[in-house]
Structure 1
Amino acid sequence: MLLMRLPGVYRAQHDTSLLRTVLRRRGGVAGRSVLDVGSGTGALGIEAVRAGAASLTSVDLSLRSVMTSWLNSRLHGVPATVRRGDLFAPVGPRRFDLVLANPPYVPAAAPRPPRHRMARCWDAGPDGRILLDRICAGAPGVLNEGGALLLVQSGLADEHATLDRLDAAGLVPAVLARGRIPFGPVLRSRVRELRERGLLAPGQVEEELVVIEARHG
């Protein structure tokens, strides 16, 4: 998929590709309303419309990501509504049939992600869960009955915590897919730190990506 990308916008990578593949194979998108939260380049929302989604709303906190999502939706002829804001805040009280999320999830030393550096696209606090936990808690409030959340995360950010939090929020979670990829530049630069914290096994050189679905009702 040809995608424009302004400087500072997260480039669609293996995690985006894995979630796009699951979206295609899973089906059930035709005629549905879709919310792409943390849209970045807009790749996931465009995939949903190609699969027959009836409507697409994209949200991102970054102005450059909002502009990039808008540009790519027009480039691909996708009639998306693009909003700027923090997670679900710009769409309340609307509800959707499908919510897509590929949030930052890489464990970092800093307690909060930076606001004005590229690392904000992947850093997510000491346990990698700053945004994952908020998505788990907020998803039921934007899902129609019978709707679903589809999210992708790293195994380093504790998939079991995600499953538990989704269950506690009243959703029915399940792992749909896994994939393993070699460490990229960010993880390679943090191998020693992550091993000292017990987040990496000795000799581990690959990251596991996990796609989780959580159904509402």
Structure 2
Amino acid sequence: MTTSVRTEPEARPPGRLFRLPGVYRPQEDTALLSGVLAGDPRIGPGARCADLGTGSGALAIALARTGAVVVAADISVRALASAWVNTVLRALLIGLLRGGLREAAEAGPYDVVVANPPYVPSPAPAVRSTRAWDAGPDGRAMLDPLCAAAPSLLTRAGALYLVQSTMSDVDKTRYALAAGGLRSEVLARAEVPFGPVASGRLKYLTERGFVRPGDRAEELVVLRAAR
């Protein structure tokens, strides 16, 4: 495994996005990952891409603007409806897939898979209204299944791009990817203030050792994994 942090060109902002209630609002993590995608020359016309957990479709839009063939997947009907509206407003053609990792793998494989999965440690199980960010007691409820499924999602030369917080253990993600035969590298890092979710559970995060007392920011990391 290698670490290579680079300065990436700024992604083209998706503009104002339509969101139904409960759909994840693109934030710093979305922007950080989108910036990395904008700087990768392998993403372009003809590339078959998947945006897992698409939410409002922000990353799918970034991919589609390069001319790539894009599938936007989500288990939420509201998310898919939001993504559909946003792509139609931009005159982009994006395939929509309702489902999770299994359905995405069945529709693959892909040259590029992008994911901004839930990664915030949560003291309570995720429910429909919180499943876009709550990720279990260690923040890995979606990261672990994603790492396990990654080899089946990718073509032989394909790559997975994902963003997560260091709270949910970046090293564990890299070792899990390596167990599936994928070599990972860190492409970008950014320190950002805690959002409303993390701020609302600072006591839990501090008591469990995810953050230090007095911390008011977290580090986000973008990884790329490939064979």
- Structures share fold, TM-score greater than 0.5: yes
> For 2:145, what is the secondary structure of its paired residue?
helix
Structure 2: runs of 5 or more not aligned = 1-14
Per-residue CA distance 1:55-80 (angstroms, 9 max, x = gap): 11010001100111111111111111
Match of 1:113 among 126, 129, 140: 126
- Give me the whole-angstrom Cα distance separating, in 2, the residues matched to 1:147 and 1:181: 30
Percent identity reads 45
> For 1:121, what is the secondary structure of its paired residue?
coil
Instruction: Give the RMSD, CA atoms, in angstroms.
Output: 1.2
- Give me the whole-angstrom Cα distance separating, in 1, the residues matched to 2:47 and 2:23: 27
Moved over 6 A (4+): none
Match of 1:34 among 33, 45, 49: 49
C-alpha distance 206-139 of structure 1, shift in aligned 2 (>3 A): same
> For 1:211, what is the secondary structure of its paired residue?
strand
> For 2:225, what is the secondary structure of its paired residue?
strand
> For 1:130, what is the secondary structure of its paired residue?
coil
Match of 1:23 among 33, 37, 46: 37
Question: Matched residue pairs, number?
Answer: 212
C-alpha distance 166-90 of structure 1, shift in aligned 2 (>3 A): closer
- Give me the whole-angstrom Cα distance separating, in 1, the residues matched to 2:204 and 2:98: 34
- Give me the whole-angstrom Cα distance separating, in 1, the residues matched to 2:208 and 2:61: 38
- Give me the whole-angstrom Cα distance separating, in 2, the residues matched to 1:91 and 1:133: 16
Q: Which residues of 2 match residues 94-173 of structure 1 at below 5 A?
A: 94-110=108-124, 112-114=125-127, 116-117=128-129, 119-173=130-184
Structure 1: runs of 5 or more not aligned = none
Given that 1:61 and 1:87 are in contact with CA atoms closer than 8 Å, whether structure 2 keeps it comes out as no
The structure with more helix, counted as a fraction of residues: 1
Match of 2:79 among 50, 65, 72: 65
> For 2:120, what is the secondary structure of its paired residue?
coil
C-alpha distance 88-42 of structure 1, shift in aligned 2 (>3 A): farther
The residue type equivalent to 2:56 in the other structure is T
- Give me the whole-angstrom Cα distance separating, in 1, the residues matched to 2:196 and 2:223: 25
